[in-house]
């Protein structure tokens, strides 16, 4: 098909016009079929329609598949074409696909390529940093911004334009397999990390430097607290909790981060699936909050408004046509990942069940951002630049920095840590997570990937002997992509434990790497691919392995790697040193070695409570006053509280004071504290501010995080931290569901964890 002209004949091709003017002109020229095509995407189908078996662009297939000349809105995950593309190959391929749509489709509308960037671009040879649950433990906004800016550039230089990230779900159930994808259990922390990620992805949202891309908030909404901890299950919360906890990070990310895209969630709220919810996607998101971007569906979720046999259905639609009607009326701009229910759009308009103007409304913001990103004018990328930037040494250093800051020290009995190599002859590195890739879900194969064992060997060199034993299995294989999960064999595991004991007995130090793997905590996306659990104990014989190591009498240091909190009661009680690592990304081994041997002082904090058992769930810290009265035969407290994390040095938080201890409704003040490093090592501390309304018209949580600041202090150094208390810090939805500050006394708490024993408390009076 011949490429059309530019200029006066086709004003939308004129870069001298504003994006808004160009969209208006383009809409006038589009047929109904072309409009519908902009609301569709190809993902796996690109392997049949756009590329050959090796992932190279296939012009013959493309011309046959798109012979009508209508184009397509998006192409999903070009990085996985033909089994996976490296940076140069992907850049070449996206250029060729883009050239085809611009030059050989009737109107030459470019496509948006989207990618997964949960913890770095999930593509071959890209940089993989810690999972979001680990990143949240850094409490470092600037670091989060840098990481997602890096991920954006690595994706953009390959040809991608949209990241299906960040996840700002508030995770309130440790049984749920997607906890690792979130920034934890606290809405304020989640919002702060989410805003930082969006700014990293989108920059100033001008896109002139060609290093940024569109961020996508997900999953809107309430995906993080599913019934029974089961992925995609209904979420049963009141509107007050929905607004104050669940929707808060989304609202903040839209208003303070300027996010361009939102992904609707699989679950239902109050009987209405998100993809069919006019209240959620129109009344709240667009009308109330003023969101002007576009909503993408989660993969296959519009189909699931009816019934999808291999997973589940909501049964609010009889067939795909009805599903399409519900989604369009609710405001879902584009269906991902394949042409499916929205294939019926043209017929639905012709049958009078939808109006063409409804399609215009939904494609307008998507076309607008194609113009604003320059895709009509300069859409191509430099394959050489892509190869140079992807997985670069500079990016690797940033991934290592993030891995170090994500590690949280939970226990250090008798100051066993850091380990002095001068007193060590042999180190036994033991455990099912000691010599394997530990990236977590939504990963590919990064250019570098360092195991715990490799990292320790590299650090130690010839200063000590390093021996290894696997100890036991968690599951056989353990890959995120393997549907079937095969538990380890008890008899074989116990033989392996016996071998590990022999190795450990010859050592001076045992480093034990246990926890979970990519199968024991993951997104449960089909009936044959589960990832949620009824227990949060370690899988298999890992506790037996830990006990066997402790009984050798050697000092044991445990590193936990897992996607969700684990109830490690035996380990917590019996081993002298314990780290929570979550998933640290490609630099795992180097970060572990740096922390173990004192090359880096750990400063991570828990972004989510670690419960004593699944029976303690929900265990989040910001509970209501009547919620933790006690259990028969058990302790109601968590194993480790939100915000907790130790250091190799000590800190004193003193002279805590309010700038003003009385303010009017609508007024502001600040709380200040002097923080001193009272130990002998440089280190970081996270000063956390919690607030409680002591008497209120509706029940309020016992404390809520409303501010934090991370400080780095040299030995003996003191810094003063100042945290603002604004009306936003004190507001909530009152008995009338008005968002207000009520007069009265507020407890202001300052410390280094959410635990009462770690907090200094003051009272702020708010007057009428």
Q: What is the DSSP string of 244-277?
A: IIISHHHHHHHHHH---EEEE-SSEETTEEGGG-
Q: Which of 198, 78, 125, 118 is nearest to 396 (CA)?
A: 125
Q: In angstroms, what CA-CA distances link 462 with 369, 454, 458, 554, 556?
A: 56, 14, 9, 22, 22
All residues at 6 or more sequence positions from 129 whose CB lies less than 8 Å from its CB, including other chains: 119, 120, 135, 147, 151, 398, 399, 402, 403, 585, 586, 587
Residue 582 sits at φ, ψ, to 5 deg, of 55, -125
Per annotation, catalytic residue among 125, 298, 449, 493: 298
The answer to whether 87 and 386 are in contact (CB under 8 A) is yes
The answer to whether 761 and 749 are in contact (CB under 8 A) is yes
Concerning whether 298 is annotated as a catalytic residue, the answer is yes
- The tokens for 188 are 């304020």
Q: Which of 414, 472, 453, 405 is nearest to 134 (CA)?
A: 405
All residues at 6 or more sequence positions from 198 whose CB lies less than 8 Å from its CB, including other chains: 148, 166, 215, 217, 253, 257, 258, 259
Four-CA torsion 198, 204, 209, 215, nearest 10 degrees: 20
Distance CA 614, CA 566 (A): 9
Q: What is the DSSP string of 682-728?
A: -EEEEEEEEEEESS-SS---S-EEEEEEEEEE-TT-EEEEEEEE-HH
Distance CA 89, CA 296 (A): 27
Residue 36: enclosing H or E segment and its boundaries? Answer: helix 32-37
Distance CA 403, CA 409 (A): 13
Distance CA 526, CA 481 (A): 12
The answer to whether 520 and 436 are in contact (CB under 8 A) is no
Going 15 to 16 to 18 to 23, the CA torsion angle's sign is negative
Strands (E), 351-477: 408-412, 426-430, 465-469
Edge-to-edge order in the sheet of strand 74-76: 41-42, 74-76, 112-115, 162-163
Radius of gyration over alpha carbons of the chain, in Å? 27
- The tokens for 493 are 């595991």
Going 309 to 313 to 319 to 321, the CA torsion angle's sign is negative
Distance of CA 130 to the CA centre of its chain: 10
Give the DSSP letter of residue 284.
Answer: I
All residues at 6 or more sequence positions from 59 whose CB lies less than 8 Å from its CB, including other chains: 100
Distance CA 640, CA 740 (A): 33
Distance CA 585, CA 371 (A): 35
Residue 27: is it exposed, middle or buried by C-beta count within 10 angstroms (0-12/13-18/19+)?
middle
Cis peptide, bond prior to residue 418, ω within 30 of zero = yes
Distance CA 85, CA 160 (A): 13
The answer to whether 517 and 566 are in contact (CB under 8 A) is no
Q: Which residues are catalytic?
A: 298
């Amino acid at each position: 098909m011949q490429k059309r002209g530019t200029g006066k004949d086709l004003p939308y091709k004129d870069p001298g016009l504003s994006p808004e003017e160009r969209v208006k002109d383009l809409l006038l020229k589009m047929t109904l079929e072309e409009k519908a095509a902009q609301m569709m995407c190809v993902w796996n189908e690109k392997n049949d329609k756009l590329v050959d078996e090796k992932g190279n662009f296939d012009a013959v297939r493309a011309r046959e598949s798109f012979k009508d000349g209508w184009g397509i809105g998006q192409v999903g995950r070009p990085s996985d074409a033909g089994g996976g593309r490296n940076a140069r190959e992907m850049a070449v391929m996206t250029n060729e696909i883009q050239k085809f749509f611009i030059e050989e489709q009737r109107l030459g509308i470019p496509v948006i390529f989207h990618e997964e960037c949960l913890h770095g671009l999930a593509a071959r040879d890209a940089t993989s940093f810690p999972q979001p649950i680990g990143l949240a433990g850094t409490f470092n906004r600037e670091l989060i911004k840098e990481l997602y800016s890096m991920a954006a550039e690595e994706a953009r230089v390959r040809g991608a334009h949209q990241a299906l990230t960040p996840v700002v779900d508030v995770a309130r159930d440790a049984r749920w397999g997607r906890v690792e994808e979130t920034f934890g259990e606290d809405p304020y922390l989640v919002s702060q990390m989410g805003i930082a990620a969006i700014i990293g992805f989108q920059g100033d949202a001008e896109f002139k430097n060609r290093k940024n891309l569109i961020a996508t908030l997900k999953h809107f909404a309430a995906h993080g607290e599913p019934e029974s901890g089961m992925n995609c299950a209904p979420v049963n919360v009141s509107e007050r909790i929905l607004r104050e906890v669940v929707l808060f990070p989304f609202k903040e990310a839209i208003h303070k981060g300027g996010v361009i895209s939102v992904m609707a969630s699989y679950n239902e709220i109050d009987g209405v699936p998100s993809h069919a919810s006019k209240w959620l996607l129109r009344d709240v998101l667009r009308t109330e909050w003023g969101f002007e971007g576009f909503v993408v569906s989660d993969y296959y979720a519009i189909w699931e408004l009816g019934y999808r046999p291999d997973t589940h259905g909501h049964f609010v639609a009889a067939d795909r046509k009805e599903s399409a009607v519900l989604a369009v009326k609710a405001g879902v701009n584009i269906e991902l990942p394949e042409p499916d229910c929205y294939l019926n759009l043209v017929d639905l308009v012709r049958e009078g069940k939808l109006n063409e103007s409804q399609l215009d409304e939904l494609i307008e913001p998507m076309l607008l951002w194609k113009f604003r990103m320059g895709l009509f004018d300069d859409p191509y990328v430099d394959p050489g630049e892509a190869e140079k930037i992807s997985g670069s040494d500079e990016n690797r250093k940033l991934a290592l920095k993030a891995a170090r800051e994500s590690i949280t020290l939970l226990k250090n009995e008798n100051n066993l840590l850091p380990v002095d190599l001068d007193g060590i002859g042999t180190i036994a590195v033991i455990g099912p997570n000691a010599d394997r890739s530990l990236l977590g879900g939504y990963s590919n194969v990064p250019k570098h990937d360092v195991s715990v064992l490799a990292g320790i060997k590299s650090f130690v060199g010839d200063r000590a002997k390093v021996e290894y034993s696997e100890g036991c299995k968690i599951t056989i294989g353990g890959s995120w992509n393997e549907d079937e999960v095969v538990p380890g064999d008890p008899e074989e595991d116990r033989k392996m434990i016996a071998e590990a004991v022999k190795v450990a007995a010859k050592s001076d130090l045992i480093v034990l790497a246990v926890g979970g793997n990519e199968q024991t905590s993951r997104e449960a996306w089909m009936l044959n691919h589960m990832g949620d659990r009824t227990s949060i104990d370690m899988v298999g014989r890992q506790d037996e392995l830990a006990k066997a190591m402790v009984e050798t009498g050697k000092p044991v240091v445990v590193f936990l790697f897992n996607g969700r909190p684990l109830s490690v009661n035996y380990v917590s009680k019996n081993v002298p040193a314990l780290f929570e690592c979550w998933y640290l990304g490609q630099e795992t081994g180097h970060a572990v070695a740096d922390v173990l041997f004192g090359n880096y002082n750990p400063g991570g904090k828990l972004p989510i409570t670690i419960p004593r058992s699944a029976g303690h769930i929900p265990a989040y810290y910001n509970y209501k006053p009547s919620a933790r009265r006690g259990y028969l035969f058990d302790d109601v407290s968590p194993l480790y509280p939100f915000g907790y994390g130790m250091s190799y040095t000590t800190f004193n938080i003193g002279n805590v004071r309010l700038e003003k201890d009385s303010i009017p409704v609508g007024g502001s003040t600040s709380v200040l504290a002097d923080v001193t490093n009272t130990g002998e090592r440089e280190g970081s501390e996270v000063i956390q501010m919690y607030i409680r309304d002591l008497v209120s018209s509706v029940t309020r949580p016992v404390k809520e995080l409303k501010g934090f600041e991370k400080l780095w202090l040299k030995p003996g150094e003191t810094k003063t931290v100042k945290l603002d208390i604004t009306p936003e810090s004190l507001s909530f939805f009152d008995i009338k569901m008005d968002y207000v500050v009520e007069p009265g006394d507020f407890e202001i708490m300052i410390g280094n964890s959410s635990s009462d024993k770690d907090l200094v408390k003051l009272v702020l009076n708010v007057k009428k």
